[in-house]
């Protein structure tokens, strides 16, 4: 008898992008409803402008059905990048303030002997 090999399900291929839902709740319902309205108005209008309305409505409907918006993903990614840069700048500012405080503390505890080491170096050096 032949032995049957068990087939494993492939969740995703390297060419498919795994899209998580980033549109939920009322935003998703609003996209779906607005898309249906835009498609209906575009079909009634006809012509080039009607075709544009149908296309925009179709994109809004797809956003509402799938729950994913690539535009929103790009905006969230750029916002996250901006927050990362802001955090790095704030850390650099804190380090600079600490360096300044250390330098001021070092200069207040230093004593001046009146000896100019360039003109009269220490003996035995």
Is 121 within a domain? no
pLDDT tens per residue, range 9-38: 666 555 555 567 888 889 999 999 999 999
Is 13 within a domain? no
pLDDT tens per residue, range 102-118: 888 888 876 666 666 66
Q: What confidence tier does 79 reach under pLDDT thresholds 50, 70, 90?
A: very high
pTM exceeding the 0.85 threshold for the entire prediction: no
Say yes or no: 57 and 80 in one domain: no
Say yes or no: 54 and 85 in one domain: no
Say yes or no: 79 and 99 in one domain: yes
Q: Rounded CA gap, 119 and 125, in Å? A: 14
């Amino acid at each position: 008898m032949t032995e049957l090999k068990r087939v494993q399900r492939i969740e995703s291929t390297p060419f498919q992008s795994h899209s998580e839902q980033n549109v939920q709740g009322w935003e998703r319902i609003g996209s779906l409803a607005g898309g249906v309205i835009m498609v209906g108005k575009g079909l009634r209008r006809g012509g080039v402008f009607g075709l544009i309305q149908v296309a925009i409505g179709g994109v809004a409907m797809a956003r509402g059905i799938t729950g994913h918006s690539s535009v929103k993903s790009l905006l969230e990614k750029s916002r996250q990048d901006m927050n990362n840069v802001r955090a790095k700048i704030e850390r650099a500012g804190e380090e600079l303030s600490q360096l300044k405080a250390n330098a001021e503390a070092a200069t207040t505890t230093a004593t001046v002997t009146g000896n100019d080491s360039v003109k009269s170096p220490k003996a035995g050096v």
